[in-house]
Structure 1
Amino acid sequence: MRTWILIFLCAFVTPLISTPESRDLIRITNATRDDVRNIEHSGAWVNYVNRTGVVVEATVNQQRALAEKGYRIEIITPDITGIYERNFQESDGRYLTYAEYCDTMAVIATTNPAICRLETLGLSYRGNLLLMMKISDNPQIDEPEPAVHFEGDIHGDEKIGWAITFELLKYLVRNYSTDTIVTRLVDSREIYLLPMYNPDGYISSSRYNGNSVDLNRNWGWMWGDEISQGASPFSEPENQAVLAHIWRNPAVTFVSYHAGTTFISHPWSYCYSYQNAIPELNLIQFLSARYDHWTHYTYGQGADSMYLINGSTKDFDYGYGMMGWSIEVHLQKTPPASEIDPCFNLNLPAMLELIHLAGKGIHGMVTDVLTGTPVPCQIWVRPADWLSYNSPTVGDFHRFYLPGTYTLTFRAPGYRDTTIENVIVPATGDSAVWLEVRLTPDSTAPLFAYRHIYNSFVNPSSNRTYPVRALGPRDSTAFLLDNGKTICLDMGKPVYNREGSELVIYRSSGTASAQVQGAQSWQGLWVTLGTASAPETYLDIGSAGLDSVRFLRLTASGTFYLDAVEGVNTSGITTDKQRQTDHQPPLRIFPNPARTTAVVYLNPPTQQPATLKLTDPAGRTVQTFTIAGQSRTLSLKGPDGRRLKPGVYFLRLNRQTPVRLVISE
């Protein structure tokens, strides 16, 4: 190794690289993990931390800036950027271009429809496709089977992550029906593969997406205090698309492949283990050890063995009830193409074992005792007292647990809590147990905060609470919302304006206050509803000019002990009278997007005049229409007669779920 020591007094150093944007692989010998954020402020990309220092990719100018701060630098590999580019461009390589990748995904799905479904989750910041392949024996439908998720290339320059995820896809397809292990796994699991999470970065060989945001700092668990974190949690379209996928398809395990070192990094990354370890540490360590058995990567809590990260995927994954990892698979981010197969072959047994282990533990189905329909719910498992979610469409749930005895509580807005004790995961056979859970509607049960979407980072030295403690009905177990920090919660269903108050905020301790805002979308527009400044603060959404809210955002003044948010005089189920309203015919809008007029179609037509309300994203009524029969043409103008501004609006028939209407330029 050649050493290049940069000294502050040097006026000029001859660059060893070809262009100012090229980077060297360097080691900062007098830095520790506590210096990582300071190093990242220079624009350098941190790969890993060990006893010899912090290993970084940095341009010449960034190295000068770091030297001026007193850091000592050794060059490990000059022009690592050029090496990666040459590796990518090798004539015999199997790193596909973006266009080749898209074409190949389409061909695989078209030629293997019995086990493959290709879905476009969304578009990247620059309009490139986010392609997800579902592999299962009935890929076109959702079945009550455990789901697993593998993704690569969230950092676009770490192309080996894309390669091994794509190789897994090809391996499963090629070996289905001939390999008994692959066939059994495909037939009994729903396997989701997102090889190219960050197509913008893949195309440009950049860590960031097309908006210069690090997508692995933009997730909603403890977001903030990071470089390139984005304007807000989930500000980037790539992360919004994957978040929506998770809500539709909660997984047992969620693996994100990275490169630049080798390590199996499990939650938490926002804090050190001496500050907080995940409540189910034994589970994540067991699964990590099984991956390490095949790869010998070693494993540990992300912040301990690498460095502190806020807004990471794996922390959010576990916060949502999934076992999540960032797995670093190679010392080079884009090694020669000749190393793709060895790297994949090293990881393949571990990948297959994770898919297999997703079938162990506690599984089941949650339905309404009266109707038999699926009930979306939280599943809280003791002794750890941690939650997960079932499928909102099918009602099935799946969670890996080791053999032992557990207590489960099933909780859904508008239903009585159902607790099942002495659930035994056997140590023999398939080590799994199946539960049929039927929830009883209860008109006295209120709506409550059902899902955490994001929160600002906390100081883990003094705040060791979790945002999920603000979910569910009040129980005197609180999330400490630090001064000036924000949390966003999903009530699960709209809370409609009625006579009097519709919401109550419970503060379990202290004297601090919190501003409360509401919206119909978790992205806003946010409207202030009031200030929670008492143990129980009641809020009237109508006084803020809103017809309904579903999402709430609280910002603390002082340390606010947020116990719960509940609906007042409203439940999560429908009464007989509400059912009559809910059974109004569905509506369709054409065209959509529209410019000046749109036609609303009802099928079947109404027999009596019905009310259509057009609202903005904040829930404020823009225009009201009356419709009778099968259709009506709407003039998209405001009360002043002027054409409505372009943007997103919502049209609702009586109290049905609103339908999105886009008004274009």
Structure 2
Amino acid sequence: MELLFSSLLLFLLGPIASIARGGDRIPNPSGFWDRSGEFSARSLLQDHKPQELEALADGYMSNSELEKAIEEFGKRCAHISRVYSIGKSVKGFPLLVIEISDKPGKDEAEPAFKFIGNVHGDEPVGRELLILLANWLCNNYMKDSLATLIIKNVHLHILPTMNPDGFALRRRGNANNVDLNRDFPDQFFPINDVVDLRQPETRAVMSWIKGQHFTASASLHGGALVANYPWDGSGDSRYPIYGGMQDWNYIHGGCLELTLEISDDKWPKADELPILFEYNRMSMLNLVASLAKTGIHGRIFSSHNGHPLPASVMIKGIDYKINASGSSGDYHRILAPSGSYEVTVSMPGYRAKTTPTFLQQYAISLDFILDPDGDDAHRRTPLDGCDCNCLGILRRAHGGVYLAVFVILLFLYFLLKRKAVFRFLKRRHSSSHRRVSVV
């Protein structure tokens, strides 16, 4: 089982189409329309009768018990966590998230990872394992090196259940009997773009992804042993999943998501759950830790005023870009180790920069300082970004002497500002084991 997760980094270089399990629940998996001509890809056939599964759920947490477990975790581990809601299900159950970090809720230049469980209501193993994972991290912070590395260097977000209503009904779909993993907008399936058909759980997750700056993600499913990654669909309809969460996540959230089926049995006996957790614990931890231990990380600043920039980052040979965050200018790119890469950073109004780099077994820091391009430099005034009332001073200045003094002071201001950026980068990297470059 651990080999399943430990081999995942081999897939992270770029999107490759693969066949995903679970498509058999779609009424007509070979096409988009049923015989009557009505759209039916999101709707489901009748699942097994709930009473047949009730005995299988014995020993699993109910939704109210799960909510209580999350709230108790938040109180017990408040020093490294916060609990927040991203919305509600059809039946009004809160979709609660646990964030785990040494500075939860703070905006830091660190990668963020998310786990999502129970996307399908009749696949409950993920929700149980994610609560066990959160408690293990809390119990082992400052005791175990891997737990400490994750908490200090990654913002981990855990949504134990995306489909609490489906779990309560013991069926795959939500309360409206819609498969949430077929409900996202799809690049090859435009009918999924109809906003009015979107389920509240799907809308909540989409808003969550847009609001956070996730680097990578994993959703936990059950009923097979599969690791699936973008792309789910294709233009010629050869593959079974359209409207899946991971493709939308990758395209619109800049986040590489893996869909992981981690148990052959959808409803293993409850006393087997701790065993399943131990089988998967190190793999789940290493998957999160890989964000900090490998890849290219950095921040992007403007030479004009020292402000962080939400610039785009492209790797030559990979036809996909990620964006730095708007608040901190930080970016995090997952790449296969032991390889040479050409990194290009660009943003409208600034001159792009490109630099080659070699990624070994450990992460490297690669920071960029972008200069305004020629046209934009003429449009900009040296007053942009000045915290003082520079325009008022200029208007009140009389004579060449005052103007000359003002220009000199302004030049010194921006010179110090730029030096401050370099001093910041030097301080930031002085305590890091990463190889550092500033471009």
TM (normalized to structure 2)? 0.71
Q: Secondary structure at the match of 1:371?
A: coil
Instruction: Give the conservation status (yes or no) of the 8 Å contact 1:214–1:230.
Output: no
Deviation at 1:375, TM superposition (A): 1.5
How many residue pairs match? The answer is 356
Residue 397 in 1 paired to residue 360 in 2?
no
Residue 159 in 1 paired to residue 124 in 2?
yes
Alignment of structure 1 residues 145-544 onto 2, 5 Å: 145-222=110-187, 224=189, 231-232=194-195, 235-271=198-234, 307-319=239-251, 320-359=253-292, 360-402=294-336, 403-413=338-348, 415-427=349-361, 431-442=362-373, 444=375
Deviation at 1:141, TM superposition (A): 0.8
Separation in structure 2 between the aligned mates of residue 220 and residue 35 of structure 1, nearest angstrom = 17
Separation in structure 2 between the aligned mates of residue 396 and residue 41 of structure 1, nearest angstrom = 41
Q: Secondary structure at the match of 1:157?
A: coil
Match for residue 16 of structure 2? none
Deviation at 1:312, TM superposition (A): 0.9
| Structure 2, unaligned runs of 5 or more | 1-23, 390-439
Q: Deviations over 1:569-612 (max 9, x none)?
A: xx9x98789989xx9xxxxxxxxxxxxxxxxxxxxxxxxxxxxx
Separation in structure 2 between the aligned mates of residue 200 and residue 260 of structure 1, nearest angstrom = 19
Instruction: Give the conservation status (yes or no) of the 8 Å contact 2:182–2:242.
Output: yes
98, 108, 111: which is aligned to 2:63? 98
Separation in structure 1 between the aligned mates of residue 197 and residue 276 of structure 2, nearest angstrom = 31
Structure whose residues are more often strand by fraction: 1
Alignment of structure 1 residues 615-630 onto 2, 5 Å: none
Separation in structure 2 between the aligned mates of residue 180 and residue 196 of structure 1, nearest angstrom = 28
User: Which range is displaced more, 379-388 or 31-40?
Assistant: 31-40
Separation in structure 2 between the aligned mates of residue 371 and residue 164 of structure 1, nearest angstrom = 47
Instruction: Give the conservation status (yes or no) of the 8 Å contact 1:84–1:335.
Output: no
Separation in structure 2 between the aligned mates of residue 140 and residue 42 of structure 1, nearest angstrom = 38
Separation in structure 2 between the aligned mates of residue 213 and residue 441 of structure 1, nearest angstrom = 49
Q: Secondary structure at the match of 2:247?
A: helix
Deviation at 1:209, TM superposition (A): 2.7
Separation in structure 2 between the aligned mates of residue 36 and residue 231 of structure 1, nearest angstrom = 15
Q: Secondary structure at the match of 1:156?
A: coil
Separation in structure 1 between the aligned mates of residue 71 and residue 277 of structure 2, nearest angstrom = 22
Match for residue 98 of structure 2? 133
| Structure 1, unaligned runs of 5 or more | 1-27, 46-56, 60-78, 276-302, 447-570, 584-665
Deviation at 1:174, TM superposition (A): 1.9
Separation in structure 2 between the aligned mates of residue 441 and residue 204 of structure 1, nearest angstrom = 57
Structure whose residues are more often helix by fraction: 2
Deviation at 1:249, TM superposition (A): 2.7
Distance 1:203 1:444, change over 3 A: farther
Letter in 1 for 2:318: A
Separation in structure 2 between the aligned mates of residue 205 and residue 231 of structure 1, nearest angstrom = 28
Letter in 1 for 2:369: R
Q: Secondary structure at the match of 2:56?
A: helix
Residue 107 in 1 paired to residue 40 in 2?
no
Letter in 2 for 1:433: I
Give the share of equivalent positions with the same residue, in percent: 27
Deviation at 1:42, TM superposition (A): 10
Separation in structure 2 between the aligned mates of residue 330 and residue 217 of structure 1, nearest angstrom = 21
Letter in 2 for 1:309: I
Q: Deviations over 1:21-62 (max 9, x none)?
A: xxxxxxx9xx997489869959995xxxxxxxxxxx856xxx
Letter in 2 for 1:356: A
Instruction: Give the conservation status (yes or no) of the 8 Å contact 1:219–1:234.
Output: no
Match for residue 18 of structure 1? none
Separation in structure 2 between the aligned mates of residue 409 and residue 136 of structure 1, nearest angstrom = 30
Separation in structure 2 between the aligned mates of residue 419 and residue 230 of structure 1, nearest angstrom = 36
Distance 1:161 1:230, change over 3 A: farther
Deviation at 1:81, TM superposition (A): 4.2
Separation in structure 1 between the aligned mates of residue 200 and residue 383 of structure 2, nearest angstrom = 40
Separation in structure 2 between the aligned mates of residue 310 and residue 445 of structure 1, nearest angstrom = 42
Distance 1:225 1:421, change over 3 A: closer
Q: Secondary structure at the match of 2:368?
A: strand
Separation in structure 1 between the aligned mates of residue 156 and residue 69 of structure 2, nearest angstrom = 18
Separation in structure 1 between the aligned mates of residue 87 and residue 101 of structure 2, nearest angstrom = 21
Separation in structure 2 between the aligned mates of residue 43 and residue 183 of structure 1, nearest angstrom = 41
Separation in structure 1 between the aligned mates of residue 72 and residue 107 of structure 2, nearest angstrom = 23
Match for residue 499 of structure 1? none
Distance 1:83 1:126, change over 3 A: closer
CA RMSD of aligned residues (A): 3.4
Q: Secondary structure at the match of 2:55?
A: helix
Deviation at 1:203, TM superposition (A): 2.6
Q: Secondary structure at the match of 2:185?
A: coil
User: Which range is displaced more, 216-225 or 159-168?
Assistant: 216-225
Deviation at 1:152, TM superposition (A): 0.5
Distance 1:346 1:432, change over 3 A: same
Match for residue 524 of structure 1? none
Q: Secondary structure at the match of 2:195?
A: coil
Letter in 2 for 1:86: A
Q: Deviations over 1:173-209 (max 9, x none)?
A: 1222222221122111111111111222223333223
Separation in structure 1 between the aligned mates of residue 152 and residue 137 of structure 2, nearest angstrom = 11
Separation in structure 1 between the aligned mates of residue 384 and residue 119 of structure 2, nearest angstrom = 44
Match for residue 82 of structure 1? 51
Letter in 2 for 1:375: L
Q: Secondary structure at the match of 1:87?
A: coil
Distance 1:81 1:211, change over 3 A: closer
Separation in structure 2 between the aligned mates of residue 206 and residue 230 of structure 1, nearest angstrom = 25
Instruction: Give the conservation status (yes or no) of the 8 Å contact 1:250–1:389.
Output: no
Separation in structure 1 between the aligned mates of residue 122 and residue 193 of structure 2, nearest angstrom = 18
Alignment of structure 1 residues 545-560 onto 2, 5 Å: none
Deviation at 1:217, TM superposition (A): 1.4
Return the index of the structure with the highest Cα Rg. 1
